[in-house]
Chain A
Amino acid sequence: MNSEPGHAAASDEEVGSTSLQSYLIGLGLAILLTLASFGAAVMHVVWAPSLPVLLAALAIAQMGVHLVFFLHVSSAPDSTNTVLALAFGIFIVGLIVFGSMLIMANLNANMMPMDQLIQMQR
């Protein structure tokens, strides 16, 4: 009970420490990365086959910037659980996205061509 006011004060200081500087750095980096990905897609300065990899790298970098500077995910002990939940979320997202694409591509490749399928149904 005695520790309640102390707790409140500590959490207030925590709030104050997420500074304007962090948001400004985050905004700057995010603007740079957004311009880079739009620029890479519109102007044909990058070798075309490497473009998907570049766009993916820029998107992942920007998500990282948002997580660190806007969502304040850090290595601090308070956010250990947050990081674990995030890692689990990324794992599930990877399973769903790449699993679906793999399975559907496989089914698509093994499917009988449509004209043969229609002939069989006659």
Chain B
Amino acid sequence: MNASAAAAAPGASGREDIPISERGPASIRTVVSFGFWLFLVSDIIIFSALFAAYAVLSLQTAGGPSGAQLFDLRHVFAETSCLLISSFTCGLCMLAVARRRRTMTYQWATVTFLLGLSFIALELSEFARMIASGATPARSAFLSAFFTLVGTHGIHVTVGLCWLIVMMAQVATLGFRPMVARRMLCFSLFWHALDLVWIGVFTIVYLGARL
């Protein structure tokens, strides 16, 4: 076992020749990201249940306002841009972590945080406008499903923002040790997965309302 590990060490190409059953344990980084990936897949399954509920109920407006009357696509486009660009800057932050550049890490993490915060602010202002015009979650089955789906995504983004603050505190106090780098990797996976879910939200909920 030790011999095979030593043989594998010199080059990545040597690793390919060894059968997968004899390569020994995968690196901690691979195992951690796989475990977190399983969590993300289960999270996406939660969202799929909410998407299914929305798809079933989206026309049941009970005489209340429909999606086409309520949604402002310019607003949604601004939200989408915020989240997409924050996904990109989160990637840049990960590159800075990989290169152990402290200033660059803080810089891109701040940009990511501000973009995520403006996404939440835009979403809350949209909710406030809808509720002020009488389109509350209790108005119709369509609005219940809408607020549950979009609200759950918003809560995820909020949790992600808190997590980012915690990670920056850890970089500040613990530095770039492997443990912190792995946690940053998990955070970036989480953040990209939220953007992935948002693609479904803006396509099915907002653009789908105009069909």
Q: Please give the residue numbers on chain A whose beta carbons come within 8 Å of chain B beta carbons, in ascending order.
A: 2-3, 6-8, 10-12, 14-16, 18-20, 23, 26-27, 30-31, 34, 37-38, 41-42, 51-52, 55-56, 58-59, 62-63, 66-67, 70-71, 77-78, 81-82, 85-86, 88-89, 92-93, 96-97, 99-101, 104
Contacts and interface: CB of A to CB of B under 8 A. Distances in A.
B195 A59 contact: no
A89 B41 contact: yes
Contacts of B204: 59
Interface in B74-90: 77, 80-81, 84-85, 87-88
B103 interface: no
A23 B177 CA distance: 24
B92 interface: yes
A11 B29 contact: yes
A92 B94 contact: no
Q: Which 10 pairs from chain A and chain B are nearest by CB?
A: A89-B41, A100-B52, A15-B98, A6-B9, A93-B48, A59-B203, A3-B5, A23-B91, A41-B207, A70-B192
A51 B195 CA distance: 23
- Interface of B (DSSP majority class): helix
Nearest to B24: A3
A25 B37 CA distance: 23
Given A38-B73, A100-B55, A31 B27 contact: no
Contacts of B48: 92-93, 96-97
Nearest to A101: B55
Given A3-B5, A51-B211, A66 B195 contact: yes
Nearest to B55: A101
A111 B157 CA distance: 39
B44 A89 contact: yes
Contacts of B95: 18-20, 23
A55 B203 CA distance: 7
A106 to B, nearest CB: 11
A31 B45 contact: no
